[in-house]
Homo-oligomer: A and B are copies of this chain.
């Protein structure tokens, strides 16, 4: 198993977030006035890309979110309304430079969170943007609210050299992908993986291994990719969650990843960690 750890899309350091500066309002104002300060450009609810797939920037006009430093240059964004349908972002993801993907994800998730969290969940009053856009504070009850990151387990189950993949109803035709679900309070990764695979496919698993993780900004998930060994290949599919789930051989997975015309199914797209998990499994 001399396979190097996989690097899913949206992974990487992104900007220097300089989080110690967020609480210093005077410093942030000075930074947004700096000659090399820039603000992310948006169009129709999505960050704008240059023709070569980099994020595009203009002069600061409404620098509500301090995203961090690109080298020494401060980068900001306004709090923009985000396109409600995640699928509209998928064409952009196909051309987005991986070096800018973490920042794209952070800006999307932050803006989406602000759009849905203008009021205090504790008392109902309108809240103020503070900490350079990294939290909101309630002037009425003083509660502070931080952006959500929702952990999701996404996993391959293996049995007798075959992998379990499933189809959600909204998938493109012939697409199969890794099963997934939100981790709940009171669970760790291993417990969530076991629960989801039992709920959705009726299988018991052991030996759950973490493989890789990925921020997924639709709207603010942390996808935690795992691999598990199934104790049997007998499936009981939860048809309220999945259209179908099936076991695929190594050759079938390889054909799908290669876009072979005879492939049994269509593999998940390059930006999805499910594809990273499949590639990692084939390479092992």
Query: A residues within 8 Å of B by Cβ?
Result: 5, 8, 10-14, 17, 19-20, 102-107, 109-110, 113, 116-126, 134, 143, 145-151, 182-191, 194-195, 199, 210, 212-215, 217, 220, 222, 224, 238, 240
Inter-chain contact A195/B13, CB cutoff 8 Å: yes
A149: contacting residue among B5, B109, B150, CB under 8 A: B150
Inter-chain contact B124/A125, CB cutoff 8 Å: yes
Q: Can you add 19 more A-B contacts, CB < 8 Å, to A17-B195, A149-B183, A151-B151?
A: A10-B186, A103-B186, A105-B185, A106-B184, A109-B186, A113-B185, A116-B143, A119-B122, A119-B124, A120-B121, A120-B124, A121-B121, A124-B125, A148-B148, A149-B184, A151-B222, A185-B215, A186-B215, A187-B215
The 9 lowest CB-CB distance pairs between A and B, nearest first, are A106-B186, A109-B185, A119-B124, A210-B210, A105-B186, A188-B213, A117-B121, A124-B124, A189-B213
Smallest beta-carbon distance A85→chain B, Å: 16
Inter-chain contact B186/A217, CB cutoff 8 Å: yes
Chain B residues, Cβ within 8 Å of A110: 185
Chain B residues, Cβ within 8 Å of A107: 186
